[in-house]
Chains A and B, each alone.
Chain A
Amino acid sequence: MRDVAIIGIGHTKFGRAAKSSLELFSEAALQAMDDAGVTGKEIEALFQGAALPGFEEAQVMPAAFSAAELNLGPIPATRYEGACASASVAIRDAVMWVASGDFDMVLAGGVEKALSMGTAFATRTFAMSCHSPTEGPVGLTFPGVFAMAARRYAVEYGIPLDELREKMAYVSMKNHKHGALNPLAQFYKKMGELKVEDVLNARMVADPLTLLDCCPFSDGAAALVLCAAEDARRYSDAPVYVLGTGQASGSALSKMEDITKPVSRVQSARMAFKHARLEPKDINLLEIHDCFTIAELIALECMGFFGWGEAANATANGETDIGGKIPTNMSGGLIGKGHPIGATGASQVYWIVKQMRGEAAKGNQVDPVPEYGMTDTLGGDFGTLCHLILGRDRR
């Protein structure tokens, strides 16, 4: 298996888009191709994450039409669907295909137009990646799942729920602070100075999660050009290498042993660390799936950055902010930057690459530039997990 590098990146503005999904993806793809200095002729395959295009624009099979819109020719183009982890599993498979030697240069990424669906319909379609037979008739929603996890977290670690809510609020405050500094974020220049009370007193979505504990619905796309590591320097002065990947699957919520310690997340992260021959202490920067404030805490613990039950205090103490032990979601994360679900994994990679190039926005850029970064992407209620470990050196 060959090493694989990222040589080009693209990212649309997240938020509400007038453009179609095909246009959004084209925009991100062309940025990535320009960034790499490659033309469509050199792209041999397309791997595209898209979770709900049938509901958003009555478009199934978007990958083929995306390749066509870009005049990439009759290349293999495949849609990947792992709910909110769609782009990450697309990127992971793109890495596998280049590593195998079957392709030398591919395009990978994702797109979603979820904000345009409106809250009631978007909530309905997002909930479709819960276990339909058991969680469907109950009317469980994603905020609902994580609200249940938050209550369980408080019980498991003996934290009064009000105290946990205050600590969770720090996730929202941190991620909104950095989202407000990111010109591509949905909440750019908005809510950069939230207080604990603002989060606690916002409208209740699923008790105990308020609107400010939740990421928004979003439209947007992000894309990457990947090639064999040995060719990377021909295209980029600062290629970023994919050092390790992991993926795992979960079950119906009721079959999980402990919803505060999802096995799928633990397994996927371990697979990525093993593949990269690295440990949490080696990683300088994280972009993780903060779909809800509690989700960021659970992710940090499952990935091994903090002990079980310790991420809440660590976050409130600033250990996950810039200058802390492990800066997390300096792009604003899903909460501050927005969450076009099919694009999110590619957006996370985009921001790690930007950080490694020293090109993140002032106030968000980590100094010195990180050597190793890691993404964590979650689909459904722990149904699909994917982790990518990136590095500035090929090793």
Chain B
Amino acid sequence: MVGVGKTQEEIEKELAKQYIPLSYAEYEEALSNGKLMGLKCLSCNKITCHPMPVCQWCSGRDMERVELSGEGELLTFTVIRVAPESFEAPYIPCLVKTKEGPNVIGRLELEPEQASQALIGKRVKMSGTYTYKGDKFSGGAHVCPVFKIVEP
């Protein structure tokens, strides 16, 4: 069977091809440094955030890393009163429409007593991060963005 099979060098070359333009670990590390990172699509010019291997809008594969402003609009939120094991209530998950386009999920920095329906639609800005210490199911500690209301 001479000639059948690939050389180790050929296989290693194939393995070198990159499919993940911004890994989730890199995204989380940037968050920890106060930066909300995304990917700008070179086909449709739209922004993907959180990062995906393809553009969330057009499935394009050519994307470059960009830093988002962290500014946006509060779409909705809730106050969690019954927490899962390894979390402590109360806290406020929120969904934010970023100025650059994509929605991002995070936590809202606010006293639970002040969380009213009237806040929806207000301008918010990323003010930091929350680090979940993790449990035996979570594959270690993880980070999410925290937003605060900037429009009174």
Which residues of A line the B interface, CB within 8 A? 119-121, 123-124, 127-128, 132-141, 143-144, 147-149, 151-152, 154-155, 161, 203-209, 252-256, 259
Contact = CB atoms under 8 A, between A and B. Distances in A.
Interface stretch (B3-11, B39-47, B87-95): B87-95
Most chain A C-beta atoms within 10 Å of own C-beta, residue among B78, B83, B103, B105: B78
Interface of B: 24, 50, 56, 75-87, 91, 93-95, 102-107, 112, 115, 117, 120-121, 130-132, 135, 137-138, 142-144
Given A151-B78, A206-B79, A137 B143 contact: yes
A133 B142 CA distance: 8
A151 B117 contact: yes
B83 A253 contact: no
B103 A139 contact: no
B102 A254 contact: yes
Given A147-B78, A254-B50, A140 B137 contact: no
B79 A127 contact: no
B106 A138 contact: yes
Nearest to A204: B81
A138 B75 contact: no
B144 A206 contact: no
Given A128-B137, A148-B77, A155-B121, A254 B83 contact: no
A255 B93 contact: no
Given A147-B78, A152-B75, A134 B84 contact: no
Contacts of B115: 207
B95 A148 contact: yes
A137 B84 contact: no
A135 B105 contact: yes
Contact of A119 (B76, B82, B143, B144): B82
B142 A206 contact: no
A161 B137 CA distance: 36
Contact of B77 (A119, A120, A151, A252): A151
B104 A254 contact: yes
B49 to A, nearest CB: 8
Given A137-B142, A139-B91, A151-B117, A252 B75 contact: no
Nearest to B87: A139
Given A138-B107, A139-B91, A254-B104, A124 B82 contact: no
Nearest to A207: B79
A155 B83 contact: no
B76 A151 contact: yes
Q: Which among B24, B82, B91, B120 has the greatest number of chain A C-beta atoms within 10 A?
A: B82
A144 B95 contact: no
Contact of B138 (A121, A136, A205): A136
Contact of A140 (B81, B93, B103, B131): B93
Q: Please name the 3 residue pairs, one residue from A and one from B, whose CB atoms are nearest each other, closest first.
A: A147-B78, A124-B84, A137-B132
Given A123-B84, A151-B76, A259-B95, A134 B117 contact: no
Given A254-B95, A254-B104, A123 B76 contact: no
Given A139-B84, A206-B80, A254-B105, 19 more contacts: A123-B84, A124-B135, A128-B137, A134-B105, A137-B132, A137-B143, A137-B144, A144-B93, A151-B78, A152-B120, A155-B117, A206-B82, A207-B112, A252-B50, A254-B103, A254-B104, A255-B56, A255-B102, A259-B95
A127 B76 CA distance: 19
Nearest to B96: A254
A148 B115 CA distance: 12
Contacts of B135: 124
Contacts of B104: 134, 254
Contacts of A161: 117
Contact of A137 (B76, B103, B131): B131
Contacts of A254: 50, 95, 102-105
Given A134-B105, A155-B121, A161-B117, A141 B85 contact: no
A288 B85 CA distance: 29
14 contacts: A120-B83, A124-B86, A134-B144, A138-B132, A139-B84, A139-B107, A148-B78, A148-B93, A151-B117, A206-B80, A206-B82, A208-B78, A209-B78, A255-B56
